[in-house]
A and B are shown apart, each in its own frame.
Chain A
Amino acid sequence: MNSLISKLSIAIAGVASLLMFSWPLFITSNISTEATTAQTVFILLMPLTLVIVLIEFATGDISSKHLALLGVLIALNAVIRLLGAGTAGIETAFFLVILGAYVFGSGFGFILGAGSIFVSALLTGGIGPWLPFQMMGAALIGLGAGLIPHATKKWLVKLNLIVYAVIASFTYGALMTLWNWPYLAGTGTQISYVAGAPIIDNLTRFLKYEIITGGLVWDTGRAITTSLLILLTGSALIATLSRAATRAGVGRKL
């Protein structure tokens, strides 16, 4: 019963947060003040949604071993990210989230994603209204990576992870730009958001915006660095983490 509620909560939270990311595409009003209200409300709602899911995953059921392993990976991620933060698409935060989630499961991945972004934000000062959105984005990447099926062949494992990394990198980039696109692009240009316009119309505009602002370059950079890091360190890290998992008797866990 409780695990059913738990799963349901997480599914709803996923849908809700996706809505909060992609609201510019769906909103039907064409009055920009109403859009503003919506965004303000979302900035408030996103952290709450995040907190509920975190509690859902963490409270009561999580063992000290999971917490300690989370601590290790978050710390490692923060240290690595400190060096490459925000530089033209060099994104080092995601490969560990994906690998960690792959070994330890979705719930772990969710906390790992959110925690990594939070700690590196503490260290690099990226604190602001965007933080919960980034945390949720990274958390969802971890959530998804925990669902990748475990393959026995090494190359298949790597292939799965890299395909996922590429998809995740682009989706993350798109979501991050999307939710604040109306503000950053202003109004009245070819690439601006037009409130109330049909989805397809806005989607095309958004794509142009992504290309022109170099968003896609960043996403590509993110996809490449993440894939490359998985390719290079994937087997060694998965082996080490799996060993830790076996030794500590913790496996994949939702």
Chain B
Amino acid sequence: MLGLAFAISASLTVNPLTLSVLGALSMLFVLAFRDQSPWSRSVVFYIRLAGIVIAIRLLFRIIFNLESDPANPLLVLPEVNLGLGDLVTMHLFGSISAESLQAALTDGLRLAAIILAIGMANSLANPMKLLKTTPGALYEIATAISIAINLAPQLIASLNRVRRARGLRGQSKGIKALPGLVIPVLEDTIDQSMTLAASMSARGFGRKGTQSKARLTLTRFTGLAGLVLIAVGAFLLILSPTNQVLDLSITVAGLLSTVIYIKMSALGSLRTRYLVQKFRTGDYAIYLIAALLLALAFSGVLNF
């Protein structure tokens, strides 16, 4: 949660100094609070990632230079023009101003701060716990997302392994070599994910509740009604904005039936939850800090 607040604050900030401070703060938090869980070890990965991102940002800025004629060029490189039609040209390299580089650096720093913040969130909180707080109706989507988040570091690891192994066999040069790298990794990851899916199914994932057909249809209709109301409300807002009270009340009705729909779809599953997350006092403190930080970020104070 705090990580999220940090991340959002960082994305709203353009001052490089503040960004560095935010990044450093994230790391301090990690050092102060981390425990022995595997997540806490992932922080190294995020630090590395943050470094890579800054470097890539700067590099791209130099290659895909968007400026045409900077006032005070810092770096002058030969310009390569890619004509893509009469209206559009894409410049590669060319002169680059200090401002532009600073902008890229700030941009990179911001991303890095965000990554560190996410890293912090990942190291301290455990993304799996987030799953437990999603509404029941979105359980499946949340599962897919959590599978994705878990697979991402594994993907990077197996990419490294396969790249090393590929060095042992003769390979085509350049772009043709791409499938040789991607296919084994993808095959591997798909195999892994299928094992996981098999495990979920073998333990009962996908069982349907004993909801009656009529209930199901009713649920579906509520969703449909919500959508229709939303659509009509939106339409009215656009076409006859003079009577906003009516438009808004239709939209609110749509909103309500949508919420009911979400609740009803959740009732359809028979899943139970054994451990429900409980709030500890420390959590409140964290929420408070997070809120404060967000308020600061939104008011723009951090930019000065």
Q: Footprint of B on A, CB under 8 Å?
A: 1-2, 5-6, 8-9, 12-13, 15-16, 19-20, 23, 26-29, 31, 34-35, 37-38, 41-42, 44-45, 48-49, 51-52, 54-56, 58-60, 62-65, 67-72, 74-76, 78-79, 82-83, 85, 87-88, 90, 111, 115, 118-119, 122-128, 211, 214, 216-217, 220-221, 224, 232-233, 236-237, 240, 244, 247-248
Contact = CB atoms under 8 A, between A and B. Distances in A.
24 contacts: A1-B217, A2-B216, A5-B223, A16-B230, A16-B231, A20-B234, A27-B238, A28-B239, A38-B237, A45-B234, A49-B230, A52-B261, A60-B268, A68-B193, A70-B147, A71-B146, A71-B150, A74-B148, A76-B189, A83-B56, A87-B60, A115-B141, A125-B110, A127-B7
10 nearest A-B pairs in the assembled complex, by CB-CB distance = A71-B147, A125-B114, A68-B197, A68-B193, A16-B231, A74-B148, A29-B241, A75-B151, A64-B197, A88-B64
B178 A233 contact: yes
**Which DSSP category, helix, strand, loop or mixed, fits chain A's interface?**
helix
Nearest to A196: B241
Interface of B: 4, 7-8, 10-11, 49, 53, 56-57, 60, 64, 66, 84-85, 87-88, 90, 110-111, 114-115, 117-118, 137-141, 143-152, 155-156, 175, 178-179, 182-183, 186-187, 189-190, 193-194, 196-198, 200-201, 205-206, 208, 216-217, 220-221, 223-224, 226-228, 230-231, 233-235, 237-242, 244, 248, 251, 254-255, 258, 261-262, 265, 268-269
A34 B234 CA distance: 13
A27 B87 contact: no
Nearest to A125: B114
Contacts of A16: 227, 230-231, 234
Given A60-B268, A75-B148, A26 B7 contact: no
Contacts, number: 254
A8 to B, nearest CB: 6
A72 B190 contact: yes
A244 B230 contact: no
Q: Is the interface of B mostly helix, strand, loop or mixed?
A: helix
Nearest to A122: B118
B148 A34 contact: no
B118 A125 contact: yes
Contacts of B148: 70-72, 74-75, 78, 115, 119
Contacts of B216: 2
A134 B302 CA distance: 27
Given A12-B228, A45-B234, A65-B197, 4 more contacts: A64-B205, A124-B115, A128-B8, A240-B190
B14 to A, nearest CB: 13
A221 to B, nearest CB: 7
Contacts of A75: 147-152, 155, 189
Contacts of B258: 48, 51-52
Contacts of A125: 7-8, 10-11, 110-111, 114-115, 117-118
